[in-house]
Structure 1
């Protein structure tokens, strides 16, 4: 009798081992979490070992009980529910994008970057022109641009083409734009397309009108929060299990621009390449404000043109923006004139001219820039400098 009692005491786990198990969790295949102490009830020798989560119970020998406890102690579950957003989407239909915590303020917790954004925004607004709109039919966009070039030698430093509307990618019209004459050198091109239109965008950028003048530099991504968003691309019904909800904005550069020497033209690393729809943007707009800000923060040039090739409809209006000339069929305000625009630029921008070998300046090659302060330059993230080159530059 005493031997049986002593054997049962040895087979039963100690209180410390049970307490250690009580602080661990186990997960089922659906991601539900339960304490291991609730799931596993360790019984003394000869009694039933019950699994409260399971539907069946078995009578095991003391040696099998020890093996089960040892197995749970040595191999705890490594599945973490909070990171399994794919499983969460399958069961709830809620997009993983909505689980990102800092959508409202992506730079929350970064005081230095937050101050930089505040200073940049104030500087851009201070030196912006008034909002200009060009209300025009789609078939009149190309002739109007040609008249600007021929009569006023008008150029723009930042050109954005397209909006977050399915019917904006009009390949014949885009191929006809005299982009090499309209864009200054150096200059920057932002062009929109959905995931379904990437192949057409590649064809466009490889044709003669773009390929010899522009090189693709960056690809920006915009993500709507969920299917209720006005920016969510229409479902094409291609039968794919994966939903293509991204918008792509390819940035192309013409001319030579270097990060280390051309900080009067560009400011890199101020924004990320991924932008997510913010709940703070309550006003509907064909292009989110965040994508306008990316272009403004990156390029310090003040001549900005946005071409919206076709109608957007009443549900997605084209709102004018300070510092931009926006042209399209659904632009409400039609107040643009090249001569008045050039005069406005001259008063709001810092003018720099390209000097030729004979010492003369050309008005047509003037650079209209947003001046930057020393505080902005100190806060701005900069690319790392190689020690040898840095020492050589100081000498």
Structure 2
């Protein structure tokens, strides 16, 4: 090792723990700072640097880890000389440490003699039990060694011990409570490699993705969403559903008694059947999906939300929107997690796919014209995002996340909502659900149209353009919601 007034750096080993420290150069000191890192699960390599020396590997730990510590004779580190630190780190045998001087406090409790053995889950000096890191100030000159992550220590006159004791990576424990090594390439936040090893998708580790806890740190947004949900529930019609084959049912005003403000379509794309071999999943050709006469039952303005998978539906869906008289305005992406799956399956998809498919798309189309600044009685923009993170359904199921309903109801203030190709789990207040997989029917034309009657009792069928505020088919708003909701810049 070189001697000089340089700084020392500690590096994280193959396991958890680590810090970096630096001394102040050219201050006449024989050494800068000293840094070291290591894990508590036994055989992690140690690396350290003293002064301006090249990194020195200390092997697997053990007593030999401290053999080459320089410094004035007689320096002690509190407690017995490295008692406990020399235990629990299997490695090359080493010489017992000689006396190293007077006592030197190392920061908060516990002292160095109280370090736990490998796998001991107790906390160390404010750490979380995932590793340790410690440092000395410079031997004979100013410097500092500081732990707590991968960032460098700042120059100073003191050494520190404590903090989180992580070496830039998070640790995990196995079922026995002991620290375990990471997948394939050591402990690191390599979620792609983790996916290859286990089939557990990277998006499983996203935080606060559920509606219940998404806005915990944004109280105004949380209040807005709650108020909108309450208003939607208050003004929603009873759930209506109709068992019918959409290849035979004629979509018209005569069938429903009115036009719709929102249509949600979840067609049985051929992709769904291909990615579930061995299961009888009904499917339609995209040309048959495009033949649906949705243009005959939508008002102006209105919106369509079309689930289109992740294969041919991405292109075919745009042709469908154009035929139905809509222009695409958004692309909502459902990112599928598999955290709750009994068995992690890395590839569950079309055999012709090039990449692993872990998402689906929902194209949003608009008919007519709405302006965010002027049409606050028709739409409330920027309340939700275009990303949905939700668990993938069981193998063979084409069920979509329920969050799509909340997104639609928060955005569109039209109360006439229709879903095509629905199943029993899709039945929802405020919606009319149609599909041949439904187990029953309760839809009545006159009863449904009566929910949107004007003051004279005449059902509202179509606006024929921009509806005025207070139209019977609109949800309305409240002063509190108007105060909280985002505005157009």
Provide the TM-score with structure 2 as the length reference: 0.57
Structure 2 residue matching 1:378: 3-state secondary structure:
helix
Change (3 A) 1:369 1:131: same
CA distance in 2, matches of 1:235, 1:227: 18
Q: Which residue does 2:330 correspond to in 1?
A: 218
Structure 2 CA distance for aligned equivalents of residues 187 and 353 of structure 1: 11
Distance 2:359 2:389 in 1: 10
Residues 298-307 or 195-204, more deviating: 195-204
- 2-structure distance, mates of 1:251, 1:138: 21
2:160 maps to which residue? none
Residues 1:199 and 2:315 are matched in the alignment: yes
Identify which range, 156-165 or 261-270, moves more after superposition: 156-165
Q: Partners in 1 of 2:329 and 2:369 — Cα distance?
A: 12
Distance 1:182 1:244, change over 3 A: same
1:40 to 43, 47, 59: 47
Contact 2:330 2:364 in 1 (8 A): yes
The answer to whether the aligner puts 1:378 opposite 2:479 as a matched pair is no
Q: Residues 68-98 of structure 1, C-alpha deviation per residue, up to 9 Å, x if partnerless?
A: xxxxxxxx89995465322332333321111
Aligned residue runs from structure 1 range 170-181, under 5 A: 170-181=285-296
- Pick aligned residue for 2:265 from 158, 161, 171: 161
Q: Does 2:25 correspond to 1:25? A: no
Partner of 1:235: 349
Query: How do 1:248-259 residues align onto structure 2 when only pairs under 5 Å count?
Result: 248-259=361-372
Report if aligned partners of 1:275, 1:290 keep a CA contact under 8 Å in 2: yes
Aligned CA distance change for structure 1 residues 49 and 151 (closer, same or farther; 3 Å): closer
Deviation at 1:236, TM superposition (A): 1.2
Residues 1:339 and 1:268: Cα distance change in structure 2 (over 3 Å): same
Q: 2:191 aligns to what?
A: 85
Could you say if the C-alpha distance between residues 378 and 93 of structure 1 is closer, same or farther in structure 2, counting changes exceeding 3 Å?
Answer: same
Which of 428, 431, 440 is 1:333 aligned to?
A: 440
Query: Which of 211, 221, 225 lines up with 1:113 in the alignment?
Result: 221
Which residue does the alignment assign to 1:247?
A: 360
Shift in Å, 1:169? 5.6
Conserved 8 A contact 1:318-1:330: no
Separation in structure 1 between the aligned mates of residue 289 and residue 268 of structure 2, nearest angstrom: 16
SS at match of 1:224: strand
Deviation per CA, 1:98-132, whole angstroms, max 9, x where unpaired? 10121232222111111011000000010010000
Aligned mate of 2:238, from 127, 130, 134 = 130
Work out which of the two has the higher radius of gyration on C-alpha atoms and give 1 or 2.
Answer: 2
- Structure 2 residue 480 is the aligned partner of structure 1 residue 369: no
TM-score using structure 1 length: 0.69
Change (3 A) 1:42 1:182: closer
Structure 1 unaligned blocks of 5 or more = 1-7, 55-75, 385-395
Deviation at 1:340, TM superposition (A): 0.8
Aligned residue pair count: 321
CA drift of 1:344 comes to 2.6
Q: Tell me: CA distance 1:320–1:94, structure 2 relative to 1, closer, same or farther (3 Å).
A: same
Cα offset for 1:151?
Answer: 6.5
SS of residue paired to 1:318: helix
Q: Does 1:97 align with 2:210?
A: no
Shift of 1:174: 2.2
Q: Which has the higher contact order (CA 8 A, sep 6+)?
A: 1
